[in-house]
Copies of this chain bind each other. A is one copy, B any other.
Amino acid sequence: MDESGWDRSRCSVAGTLAVVGEKWSLLVLREAFLGVRRFADLQRVLGAPRAVLTDRLNTLVAEGLLRRVPYRAEGERQRHEYRLTQKGLDLYPALVALMAWGDRYLSEDGEAPLGLRHRDCGERVHLALVCDAGHELSGARDVRPVPAVQPPAAAVSGGAPPR
């Protein structure tokens, strides 16, 4: 009766969502990627309640995705801004994937509200699913999931979802 015999509690998707799955967290990171770093700018651009935003920023700093960097604007006292760490930067593909899906399925007016270009050559950037042998996969159907712990005996689902 146990499905495909592996431990969901240590699933990496669930773990990642425990870190960035709360409301506003991924949007804060999107803004960080766009260069918005100050509390007031984040608050204005996102429209999130200040209390929630404070909490999300604290969580993201505590988890090591953002770090607080002191700065000093002219005519102002010292404050700190929020910058992405490597750990935060590495979430970029996830945001790109979510954005790509939204571009495809949610845009009435035909085109993506934000395009991504290769800094060096200017060409459009997208995500690709590839294997170590260099093949490009067309989607989920080409992937076979294998649990790290060998399935005890039951094998309900052998792999990717059928049509």
Q: Is the CB of B131 within 8 A of A161?
A: no
Q: Is the CB of B148 within 8 A of A133?
A: no
Q: Contacts A8-B45, A99-B16; is A133 near B116 (CB within 8 Å)?
A: no
Please provide the chain A residues from 108 to 151 with a CB less than 8 Å away from any CB of chain B in the complex: 111-121, 123-133, 135, 137, 139-149
A156 proximity list for chain B (CB < 8 A): 35
Contact of A16 among B46, B101, B121, B131 (CB under 8 A): B101
Q: Is the CB of A12 within 8 A of B98?
A: yes
Closest to A104 in B: B90
A141 proximity list for chain B (CB < 8 A): 89, 119
**19 extra interchain contacts, Cβ-Cβ under 8 A, other than A10-B107, A125-B143?**
A6-B113, A11-B30, A11-B114, A12-B101, A12-B106, A13-B27, A15-B106, A33-B160, A34-B157, A90-B105, A94-B98, A94-B101, A115-B147, A117-B146, A118-B142, A120-B135, A125-B137, A126-B130, A126-B132
Chain A residues engaging chain B, CB cutoff 8 angstroms = 3-4, 6-8, 10-17, 19, 21, 23, 26-27, 30-37, 41, 45-46, 83-84, 87, 89-107, 111-121, 123-133, 135, 137, 139-149, 156-163
- A sample of 15 inter-chain contacts (CB < 8 A) reads A4-B34, A8-B46, A11-B114, A13-B102, A16-B99, A83-B162, A87-B105, A89-B140, A90-B139, A93-B93, A112-B148, A116-B146, A118-B133, A118-B143, A127-B127
